[in-house]
Structure 1
Amino acid sequence: MRLTEEEVQSLLRGMEGWELVEERWIAKKYRFQDYLRGIEFVRQIAAISEEANHHPFISIDYKLITVKISSWRAKGLTKLDFELAKKYDEVYERIKG
């Protein structure tokens, strides 16, 4: 179920680095000490996303990984988007180096 604008803003307040994009996406940039840590991060969040059957857009720019997520069926953001964003942050904390 699609979240209201107020719900989105409330959830974003508790999430460091995530921002609302075009009122439909949440996005975050992750920096790594080296290229391969970034690739490992992508591999791990891809596995989490595949398990949830909910896939983000991922951009790899050397040591900078950008993740952007939304729910196509809901035509906006859902709780699942925010749950996955928190899981991505947990992966980052483990492997950022």
Structure 2
Amino acid sequence: MEKLNDQEIQEKLTSVPSWKLTDTKWIERKYRFNEYLNGVEFVQQVANLSEKVNHHPFISIDYKMVTLRITSWHAKGLTALDFDLAKKYDELFIQIKS
């Protein structure tokens, strides 16, 4: 995957409005859960999906808050795959939150 330029990144961010650009090469989102174990379940599903596509986020679990950070190491920045996964992670969150 090719690294996105600044304009492409800004365009892609509109499709994942809960995600924020950090340090020009990461996107990040914090997910809040009502129960600790819901967050752990979410992380397990994120891990399974990430393993299937061999593209892994940084994951932090802080009690009922899960933070995901994504970048593409090989591209040295953000790619379309990062934004595609962000959308899929958001879908997983909706399923667990429901």
Q: Distance between the aligned counterparts of 1:34 and 1:16, measured in 2?
A: 24
For the aligned residues, what is the CA RMSD? 0.7
What is the CA deviation profile of residues 22-54 of structure 1, one whole-angstrom value per residue up to 9, with x for unaligned ones?
A: 000000000000000000000001000000000
Structure 1 residue runs without a partner (length 5+): none
Question: 1:75 aligned to 2:73?
Answer: no
Residue of structure 2 in register with 1:63 after alignment: 64
Residue of structure 2 in register with 1:12 after alignment: 13
Question: 1:54 aligned to 2:80?
Answer: no
Q: Distance between the aligned counterparts of 1:46 and 1:92, measured in 2?
A: 13
Displacement, 1:14?
2.1
Q: Distance between the aligned counterparts of 1:91 and 1:13, measured in 2?
A: 19
Alignment TM-score, normalising by the size of structure 1: 0.98
- Matched to 2:29, the amino acid is K
Residue of structure 2 in register with 1:93 after alignment: 94
Question: 1:36 aligned to 2:37?
Answer: yes
Displacement, 1:93?
0.3
Runs of 4+ in 1 over 3 A off after TM superposition: none
**Identity of counterpart residues, as a percentage?**
56
Secondary structure of the 2:78 match is coil
Q: Distance between the aligned counterparts of 1:96 and 1:61, measured in 2?
A: 17
What is the CA deviation profile of residues 48-85 of structure 1, one whole-angstrom value per residue up to 9, with x for unaligned ones?
A: 00000000000000000000000000000000000100
Q: Distance between the aligned counterparts of 2:79 and 2:66, measured in 1?
A: 22
Structure 2 residue runs without a partner (length 5+): none
How many pairs align? 97
